[in-house]
Amino acid sequence: MLTLDTRVPAVLLRIDRNPFHHGTLGAVRSLGRAGVEVHVAASDSAGSPVRRSRYLHQTHPPPPPGASLQEISSVLRRISHRVARPSVLIPMDDAGALAIGRLQKELAESYLLPDQASGLAERVADKATLAQVCASAGIPHPVTLLPESPAQAAAAVRRLGLPVVAKWSRPWLVPAGTDLRSTVLVRSATEAQELYRRSEEAGSRLLLQAFLPDGPGRDWFVHGYVDRTGAVRGGGSGRKHRSWPRGAGLTAVGEWTPDPGLRAGVERLVDTLGYRGIFDLDFRVDAATGEHCLLDFNPRPGAQFRLFADGADLDVVRAQHLDMTYRPLPAAAVLSGRAFVVENYSPLAALRVLMTAGPASTASQRRELAWHAQDDMAPARAMWVLWCRHVTRRLLGRLRRTVRPTGPPGEEVRVRMVRQAGAPDGSGRAEAARIDDERASSC
């Protein structure tokens, strides 16, 4: 049984708006069950089901989406003053992770943080530099091109072949209130050119990447925590059985599937970088080569991190708390085949889990649901109320969009691009907020 230092609180920071971020609830429960006082600063904390958890000690006003570094620093200093003790600080999204990385020296007096090299979190999260990072560590990565003009964007599409994955190199800079998405699938050179012309609006460079088709057994993820000695602790490798949206989204159903070769490559990568702290990596198998190609490096916990709660109930957030408080981390106790299901994204799979659940002592080692927990039922009830409202809004929005859109020249292309990305075609702030609700972080 793990023994965490319950004298040391934990603060969870999430800047991006997403009331359905089950990873935040997972972290609250994981640390709270171990007796740690858990504080949350999240943009949706007032209406989020996480607020109903019995393991949440207190919520705090968060920095707003798009907040400056100084605003984020002020919020974290204010929380530290209220908590009145040094705390383990864990970012739950990329925006928070990058801000903490930049503010590390400033926050060192108030928070316990992994000793991360300055700028490293931003380097691995930036899609433009990820290809270089992979090359330096010998990690396969899809062919990625960075056009410098609309003409080069069209040429890149011809070289890569259709369809092409288009990404903004720094997705955390994509402004709210627009129809821009962090990643879209484009099906013509014209669409790629239109996206390139919006680079200034997006706040970062456009990348065009070779498309690797999805398929059974092709989507993988690896989570872990790199301790102060550089050893990878906790976490493991897993396969996505279902994702939401299908084929390109967060993990709706995942299974712990040990792959020693994949884990060895990840250990080589983090060692090459000198990385410290929690990481969440996304891979897709290239059907032509059989190689696991790295798609994303997220310098924070993935939303499904509780999949890798091992036989000692060690997960990556507990690993960070133990390491930051100089407590011993136990040897890995792998639970191969353990499953994780997100009920609102895969309700039938969740229903099967609930119907076949056995004694609590063994069921918790076989599987975990994102929202439902026998010792903490209120968040699941609140989630279903909120989710039904969300789905109703989506259905009404689709009915309204059955009317063919009209607008100035070029508007039809823009609408088609957004629809192919799976996003609503409204441009108001309310619609943008709904898009943010669905955005996953490896999720």
Give the list of residues 6+ apart from residue 396 with CB closer than 8 angstroms, or none: none
Q: Does position 362 have pLDDT exceeding 70, yes or no?
A: no
Structure tokens at 290: 């059989």
Mean pLDDT of 90-94: 96
Q: Does position 340 have pLDDT exceeding 70, yes or no?
A: yes
- The pLDDT tens digits of the residues spanning 291-329 come to 999 999 999 999 999 999 999 999 999 999 999 999 999
Buried b / exposed e along 58-72 (16+ C-beta atoms within 10 A)? ebbebbebbbeeeeb
CA distance 160 to 210: 6
What does the pLDDT read at residue 1?
66
Give 119 or 364, the one with higher predicted confidence.
119
What does the pLDDT read at residue 425?
36
Class of residue 385 by CB neighbours under 10 A (exposed 0-12, middle 13-18, buried 19+): exposed
Where does 104-230 show beta strands of DSSP type E? 111-112, 144-145, 164-168, 183-186, 206-210, 219-226
What does the pLDDT read at residue 437?
37
pLDDT averaged over every residue in the chain: 88
Q: Does position 62 have pLDDT exceeding 80, yes or no?
A: yes
The band of 357, judged by pLDDT with boundaries at 50, 70 and 90, is low
- The pLDDT tens digits of the residues spanning 1-31 come to 689 999 999 999 999 888 999 999 999 999 9
Cα dihedral sign, 320-325-328-330:
negative
CA distance 144 to 131: 7
CA distance 8 to 110: 12
Mode of pairing for the β-strands spanning 339-341 and 250-256: antiparallel
CA distance 286 to 288: 5
Q: Does position 410 have pLDDT exceeding 70, yes or no?
A: no
What does the pLDDT read at residue 420?
42
Task: Name the H helices within 45-188.
Answer: 69-83, 94-102, 104-107, 120-125, 127-137, 150-160
Q: Does position 397 have pLDDT exceeding 90, yes or no?
A: no
The band of 398, judged by pLDDT with boundaries at 50, 70 and 90, is confident
What does the pLDDT read at residue 406?
53
The band of 418, judged by pLDDT with boundaries at 50, 70 and 90, is very low
Class of residue 86 by CB neighbours under 10 A (exposed 0-12, middle 13-18, buried 19+): middle
Q: Does position 163 have pLDDT exceeding 70, yes or no?
A: yes
In the DSSP assignment, the letter for residue 55 is: T
Q: Which helix (H) or strand (E) holds 323?
A: helix 316-324
113 forms bridges with which residues in the sheet? none
CA distance 279 to 322: 16
Q: Does position 352 have pLDDT exceeding 80, yes or no?
A: yes
In the DSSP assignment, the letter for residue 121 is: H
